[in-house]
Chain A
């Protein structure tokens, strides 16, 4: 803490974003790189708390006050080293993390949290500009590990293990490496070049990637340990009349196609919102991503439905700091929609069915507060109601137990019921944040390392 009174003298400055009207017309990232002076000044607002509540928020235990101090001293390169000590992919979390750290920052008591995420991203971007330097292990252990799934959990585990000198192979059933990072998050939130740079670094550190491969039990047998990081890809469905109508799609199907399109791949029969009346069911991040994508595709109108009541604008008495604030959130996509006048957000709406012949024409629903039945005309419905669990086949074939919710059952060190099989990320945790996936992956790597090193 270089400036004890910084937080009193310097106000919070949020991350700068491109104009909503402008950005809604392209697929480029919406945030602008911060000016380094401004970020440096913002970093001096950190109080280096005796009890760093930001750590409570961050599953990775990022050493936030430490790198804040380094940034405030202008030592961005040193800050990157401290950041890398706990976080394998700060360029990703610096973009897509909802930043629970900021919610629990002591300055958030007065709603003036340190802009931790922006600082993190600034550190990470500077590193990307310098070029990510591979840190291969100077020696090899001769042990091999299979990581199934190349989302954030799998990649984090793979990188840690490779750096410890093990031979790591990452299997991915899709055509490109990255899992949800690649096809789940729209490009306007996460430009894929940073992911590619990271993967290149990992290759140089010795990780072998095998895309378009779904390994079987036998394929995995030769490995000393296996990490299942297969995600929780089964979407929650809506069993109502009319579900079968054309124009009703899962959000992930819709988002993935657009990501491929941006990547330059030909996409056959792409679902597009252009000129359509769109309804997005689900008020979470995926829902928001659908809204942002639909706007960019030129939707005629968009309505987003949420089954829960509208949260308040400020914390309630039963939701004190440093808990995650249960308040109404306005995402960047909402801002764009508001700017283009395309959005309606509705709360406490339960969908009762879809109306139409062959393809959907309208959505039937009930307002939970007034019990009023309504109908919303629409041409495209996107289901963004979350995920119910992993696709279980590989796990069960390996003999792993599942828990009551259908996730792979693991202990505190991510170990499954089978001795050398581990699981990390959404596959064992259920649908969650990227930071949790990275944290799980790192934990799994530590446990795998301990296990295979103990067997000489």
Chain B
């Protein structure tokens, strides 16, 4: 999350100038970091330097009269010590004693001079004492760093035992590097640490970092750089990485560490952030003797699976190491240095920016942004960016830059990895199998009952999987009871919800970006991580973790003498209860441990053999219990775990088993059923697809890192069970214990085997929206029948327990107030909003009906992500909230400028972490026009916003939107999950005015069933967490909180307000008021009431009126008023956050549901608030200061704005000038609407390196010319303006080989033109729907999801070109036929025809005219030859749609035209 960078002097000559330059980089990245409620306390900043020997020599002589040995012969321990004096002394003594224990010499302590006055109160309050200990070397020089490492580890351990303290921390301990870091603002770091200003402090390497904390609270220790790395990103697989590392500890052995290895455990220090944990491992592996680049390659490998071009030895390197260690996955830009080497690497996705400049004078600067240092143009040798998975290294000792190829070739040739892999990996498919016999029908049916397979499950879920190889789709969200509230026995799986990425890291598109994904699973025993032998990759290598019943036979009969498979029975006595289950688990774990002790390489946890007397242990419980028992026994890494069970059937089930440790799963009963319904092959295919999706929504690429990562949240399982069997799992609501789990398992089991009872049959679950509830509500709003509303509210409020709030009561010690003193309903309804439903997913009639109703009552309707017809702007049919979602459909400058609130949709309740798809048959003429698309062509929404890969990116988008429309509030929509509070805090720190927390159960559109049901948590949990975090971090007053998720009644609103929300979103209920009958057929376009359909016949059936919706909201408000009067509140504001008025109900009755409900402990959720802190938003919308420069531009354009007079202005820009031109663009759109001004009315000539979002939303009439270069998001949302970028006149490098604009350029552009004389980064023109562009080369994933416009690439294009492109046309200069198109997209690749030639030539001419491009000029010089080297790429679906259109209109095709918008 953050800004990071390094600077190195290649020749290794240390200078103080380099320190200053490093600090300058830090300053220029300040906008990427954050500050909390205390604006003077940063989230953390720091710098890593080479040991400044001259400085220390002088200092020590002067201050403590000690002499230092020669450089390299001493180390410096940079200590954070206790604020308490006595304890500080004690800690110092311990550190000294450890130095002596390791036989080195203590030279002496030096106080680090600091100036606390530059810190904010929060930072100063937690400021540790800072001292440096100097240690003279006794150890041989090649072992000295390792000895210092051992000293640091032992000191840490002993302090923890003898003088523990939250302050104590060793920032660095090395003879080569030193780290200065802390909670100072980046620009204040040098003022705080006086040392940094001393001219004697000289270095040839500086690594800097400015932090934006989202996943943990900021502390002094958590500032970067760590000892070896600094990190921008987030490791999603942390839990798994920590667990596996812990498990490996038992097997670690190294002569280098000898008996000291005990001092290092745990390798990963508990309580550290993801980055700190990664540093711990890097640090440990480097100390053990592996070179730093080797370690980075094994921990953060690039994508190497089958579809990637790669040399054999490099692939073998990765394949070998895949058996040793799972990737640390998640977005990461990493900078690392050991004092001689400094380098950077990107993870396989490369979603974090890393840009570099090499100068003729011998400097290498790498940073998150370009322009962090100014260089004379003629001094620049090369400008570039790091590609996904690649590494850049500077070796100052050898005085050289090492390229990715060179480093990796060297590492790959360290050992004969290829031979090792070939000789040891086991390929299951090559093993023999026996002919398969299907399970007898009777047995199958008994098992179906025993494992709770309902007919509905078989029909709705397994059917489509087995026949079509697809996960089924549904719509209208989930209104069934949580598992823990259900009366029916639930599989244990249902108590766990998938987690997903929001804001802090981007989800991945596993279909369009499949090349980074991998389901490869290695199953078997690992060796000693510190060793490097062929034997370590003796494993079963599976292409995916699903084993068919045939595969199981292969395993059983493999007969490999050194690879034994042992089965352990996962059963328990059916006549018992809790004790029997507990005993069964004990037995199971003991058997597994014994099997491993006897040499098993694979343990199969099997519930085959269920009988009347012996029931199956829930497979998830069995798997996790064995996994953790083996870890505790120190035997986990000696074996792989396979689960063979009849229980798992849905994708989530398999994902859960893998997430809790299994390396492969054999769902044998589901396999049998699948062969019966369709085919096993289809079923496996569906599972694979689903697994990829689940990984991707968390932003994880590799199954091996997902394994054991426990990326799930438990809802309603007791702390005891979690601690014992699922340690480390997120759980905010404690509930059922082993007793209830046993009871549920046995209820199913006995149903299958009991005699004389009706056949046990799973019947429908309870739904919150019963026919009765719908009927009453519709009657109420149509017949104006308040009694009918009351009956509706009664059904909802007093009905069966389907959600957490139905287990709560309201209470108050306040005196009631007369109802006429409670604020009136027409005031309350202004807090109501309707949910984001796109025009496209619902009909024009239904969409506008909601808008009119909300405008009438002063509430807000939400446009959804499909844009809004411009003719609605300014009328009573407009939506006050305009959504900005990942696809940016119809997000024009005009759209943005006409909103009251701009909502950035990060995730949606029905399918968090996933993109959507609007099928072609729903895209009619009007929808296509509003979305800037082609009728009949499917529209794909990317899973992430391609301009939000991190929290600082979100801050940037908030900034962009505020620039383009300063009058609008900006809100950010999140989905409830564990950890949402921390994300919400980040959102508020990013200056959003409102945080929206959506519950998991909402959702109106179509989504995969597994996402509807198994991802996200109830809003009650998310809201409670959000409120608690915002209040405790002092941020609550700065933003409003809105929630949604199946709100239906005034009582629901009361609970939401008391838990901390001040605004309330409703989606399903107002739709029902408008006539929706919950057909759940939204995805089929057959909505019989004319809502979720574009079919004109069905739309004519729409009977809703605004009055219906208005009445509904007034009924809700009146119900709320009565509740408020009873509780003694006059206004909603008084209620917000008063959690103490909510009490858990005493649950009456018997039965499974009641029993489980009674087990729930709401203590955490209903924590009483800290009344001293503001509990609600008390400030107006946060006014963000737009940049001075942008204001000046607006000012200079006044005349043009008023009189349409031409204006030309010149400005100079730096990377701190962000969203240049957006302010002006917004004004043009506000005044002149979509049409804007005549082309070229306002010309802005800029020079320098522009900050992010340069030219964002540039409107028609603007011409923005940049001489220099620009960072990411150039021309974001371009709306008719023209942008050109060209290198400085004096620069000497070849423009077409160098990067001129960053990543994700022209994202969501709808019209306009752009010309770039140089290369662009990744995802060029992603989601372009109408702009015309010329560029001289692009990175990976260019033209992704493009739906319109024209892109001309005059140089090479990276991998995965045109993924998900469904419209527009791309022309690529591809002389050697290298262009790699995305394979999952249907594209036509053709030579240019005569018309194309004219189009391309015309555009290249225009390009040369705007940018003086030498490349363009060269092509034009012999265009006759050049034109033959171009290829045209057009999506087939688009071509067909155009042909169809042409046939019906007999008009010429639109593509190729310069402005298709």
Q: Are chains A and B native binding partners rather than an unrelated pairing?
A: yes
Which residues of A are interface residues toward B (Cβ below 8 A)?
A: 4-5, 7-8, 47, 49-53, 55-56, 66, 85, 104, 106-107, 109-110, 137, 139, 141, 160, 164-165, 317-318, 320-323, 446, 449, 453
Identify which of B547-555, B808-816, B1079-1087 touches chain A. B1079-1087
CB pair A50–B1079 under 8 Å, yes or no, is yes
Least distance between A164 CB and chain B CB atoms (Å): 6
Q: Would you mind naming 7 contact pairs between A and B with Cβ atoms under 8 Å apart? A: A5-B1086, A8-B1097, A51-B1078, A53-B774, A109-B1101, A110-B1088, A318-B785
CB pair B1086–A50 under 8 Å, yes or no, is no
Least distance between B1197 CB and chain A CB atoms (Å): 53
**Residue in A closest to B1078 when the chains form the complex, CB atoms:** A51
Complex: A446 Cα to B1217 Cα, angstroms: 75
B1089, CB-defined interface residue at 8 Å: yes
What are the residues of chain B within 8 A of A52 when measuring CB–CB?
771
Give me 19 other A-B pairs in contact (C-beta within 8 A), A52-B771, A55-B771 excluded.
A8-B1095, A49-B1079, A51-B774, A51-B1078, A51-B1079, A51-B1080, A53-B774, A53-B775, A106-B1088, A109-B1088, A110-B1101, A137-B756, A141-B756, A164-B756, A164-B758, A165-B755, A320-B775, A323-B779, A453-B757
Least distance between B678 CB and chain A CB atoms (Å): 15
* Chain B residue total in the interface (Cβ 8 A): 34
B1180, CB-defined interface residue at 8 Å: no
Complex: A446 Cα to B759 Cα, angstroms: 12
Given the known inter-chain contacts A4-B1081, A8-B1097, A320-B779, please indicate yes or no for A51 contacting B1086, CB distance below 8 A: no
Complex: A139 Cα to B757 Cα, angstroms: 11
What are the residues of chain A within 8 A of B455 when measuring CB–CB?
66
B772, CB-defined interface residue at 8 Å: yes
What are the residues of chain B within 8 A of A53 when measuring CB–CB?
771, 774-775, 1077
B724, CB-defined interface residue at 8 Å: no
- Contacting residue for B1081 out of A50, A104, A141, A449, CB 8 A: A50
CB pair B783–A106 under 8 Å, yes or no, is no
CB pair B761–A85 under 8 Å, yes or no, is yes
Q: Which of B729-767 contact A (CB under 8 A)?
A: 755-758, 761, 767
What are the residues of chain B within 8 A of A47 when measuring CB–CB?
1079, 1081, 1086, 1088
> Which of A50, A107, A109, A110 has the most B CB atoms < 10 Å from its CB?
A50
What are the residues of chain B within 8 A of A7 when measuring CB–CB?
1086, 1088
Given the known inter-chain contacts A320-B778, A320-B782, A323-B779, please indicate yes or no for A107 contacting B771, CB distance below 8 A: no
- Contacting residue for B771 out of A56, A317, A318, A320, CB 8 A: A56
B769, CB-defined interface residue at 8 Å: yes
B419, CB-defined interface residue at 8 Å: no
Complex: A51 Cα to B1101 Cα, angstroms: 19
Encode B525-548 as 1/0 by CB contact (under 8 A) with A.
000000000000000000000000
Encode B1164-1196 as 1/0 by CB contact (under 8 A) with A.
000000000000000000000000000000000
Complex: A141 Cα to B754 Cα, angstroms: 13
B1346, CB-defined interface residue at 8 Å: no
**Residue in B closest to A163 when the chains form the complex, CB atoms:** B758
Grouping DSSP codes into helix (H, G, I), strand (E, B) and loop, the B interface class, with mixed when no group exceeds half, is: loop
What are the residues of chain A within 8 A of B1377 when measuring CB–CB?
none
Complex: A453 Cα to B1077 Cα, angstroms: 42
Least distance between A398 CB and chain B CB atoms (Å): 26
Least distance between A180 CB and chain B CB atoms (Å): 26
B770, CB-defined interface residue at 8 Å: yes
Encode B1084-1106 as 1/0 by CB contact (under 8 A) with A.
10101100000101100100000
Complex: A8 Cα to B769 Cα, angstroms: 26
What are the residues of chain A within 8 A of B756 when measuring CB–CB?
137, 139, 141, 164-165, 453
**Residue in A closest to B1101 when the chains form the complex, CB atoms:** A110
What are the residues of chain A within 8 A of B783 when measuring CB–CB?
317-318, 320
- Contacting residue for A106 out of B758, B1077, B1084, CB 8 A: B1077
What are the residues of chain A within 8 A of B709 when measuring CB–CB?
none
B476, CB-defined interface residue at 8 Å: yes
What are the residues of chain A within 8 A of B755 when measuring CB–CB?
139, 165
Least distance between A137 CB and chain B CB atoms (Å): 7
**Residue in B closest to A48 when the chains form the complex, CB atoms:** B1081
**Residue in B closest to A446 when the chains form the complex, CB atoms:** B758
**Residue in B closest to A323 when the chains form the complex, CB atoms:** B775
CB pair A51–B1081 under 8 Å, yes or no, is no
CB pair B1086–A49 under 8 Å, yes or no, is no
Least distance between B611 CB and chain A CB atoms (Å): 19
Grouping DSSP codes into helix (H, G, I), strand (E, B) and loop, the A interface class, with mixed when no group exceeds half, is: loop
Which residues of B are interface residues toward A (Cβ below 8 A)?
A: 455, 459, 475-476, 755-758, 761, 767, 769-772, 774-775, 778-779, 782-783, 785, 1077-1081, 1084, 1086, 1088-1089, 1095, 1097-1098, 1101
Complex: A55 Cα to B1098 Cα, angstroms: 24
Complex: A110 Cα to B1086 Cα, angstroms: 14
Given the known inter-chain contacts A4-B1081, A49-B1079, A53-B771, please indicate yes or no for A317 contacting B1086, CB distance below 8 A: no
**Residue in B closest to A166 when the chains form the complex, CB atoms:** B756
Complex: A52 Cα to B1078 Cα, angstroms: 9
CB pair A49–B775 under 8 Å, yes or no, is no
Least distance between B19 CB and chain A CB atoms (Å): 65
CB pair A107–B1088 under 8 Å, yes or no, is yes
CB pair B1078–A4 under 8 Å, yes or no, is no
CB pair B775–A322 under 8 Å, yes or no, is yes
What are the residues of chain A within 8 A of B1080 when measuring CB–CB?
49-51
Complex: A160 Cα to B1079 Cα, angstroms: 33
What are the residues of chain A within 8 A of B761 when measuring CB–CB?
85
CB pair B775–A106 under 8 Å, yes or no, is no
What are the residues of chain A within 8 A of B1098 when measuring CB–CB?
8
CB pair A322–B1086 under 8 Å, yes or no, is no
What are the residues of chain B within 8 A of A109 when measuring CB–CB?
1077, 1088-1089, 1101
> Which of B476, B774, B779 has the most A CB atoms < 10 Å from its CB?
B779
Complex: A203 Cα to B145 Cα, angstroms: 92
What are the residues of chain B within 8 A of A446 when measuring CB–CB?
758
What are the residues of chain B within 8 A of A139 when measuring CB–CB?
755-756
> Which of B761, B774, B1088 has the most A CB atoms < 10 Å from its CB?
B1088
CB pair A56–B1081 under 8 Å, yes or no, is no
- Contacting residue for B775 out of A55, A56, A317, A449, CB 8 A: A56
Complex: A8 Cα to B761 Cα, angstroms: 34
Given the known inter-chain contacts A49-B1077, A317-B783, please indicate yes or no for A4 contacting B1086, CB distance below 8 A: yes
What are the residues of chain A within 8 A of B772 when measuring CB–CB?
56
Least distance between A85 CB and chain B CB atoms (Å): 7
What are the residues of chain A within 8 A of B757 when measuring CB–CB?
164, 449, 453
**Residue in A closest to B1075 when the chains form the complex, CB atoms:** A109
What are the residues of chain B within 8 A of A106 when measuring CB–CB?
1077, 1079, 1088
Given the known inter-chain contacts A51-B770, A51-B774, please indicate yes or no for A8 contacting B1086, CB distance below 8 A: yes
- Contacting residue for A4 out of B769, B1084, B1097, B1101, CB 8 A: B1084
> Which of A7, A107, A141, A318 has the most B CB atoms < 10 Å from its CB?
A318
- Contacting residue for A50 out of B459, B476, B778, B779, CB 8 A: B476
Complex: A318 Cα to B1086 Cα, angstroms: 28
CB pair B1078–A49 under 8 Å, yes or no, is yes
Complex: A106 Cα to B1089 Cα, angstroms: 9
> Which of B756, B783, B1095 has the most A CB atoms < 10 Å from its CB?
B756
CB pair A317–B1077 under 8 Å, yes or no, is no
Complex: A165 Cα to B475 Cα, angstroms: 43
Complex: A52 Cα to B1081 Cα, angstroms: 12
- Contacting residue for A322 out of B758, B771, B1081, B1084, CB 8 A: B771
**Residue in B closest to A140 when the chains form the complex, CB atoms:** B756
Q: Which 4 interchain pairs have the tightest Cβ spacing?
A: A50-B1080, A56-B771, A51-B1078, A50-B1078
CB pair A317–B782 under 8 Å, yes or no, is yes
Complex: A47 Cα to B769 Cα, angstroms: 18
**Residue in A closest to B785 when the chains form the complex, CB atoms:** A318
Complex: A321 Cα to B782 Cα, angstroms: 11
Complex: A388 Cα to B1202 Cα, angstroms: 85
> Which of B772, B1079, B1080 has the most A CB atoms < 10 Å from its CB?
B1079
What are the residues of chain A within 8 A of B775 when measuring CB–CB?
53, 56, 320-323
**Residue in B closest to A141 when the chains form the complex, CB atoms:** B756
What are the residues of chain A within 8 A of B1095 when measuring CB–CB?
8
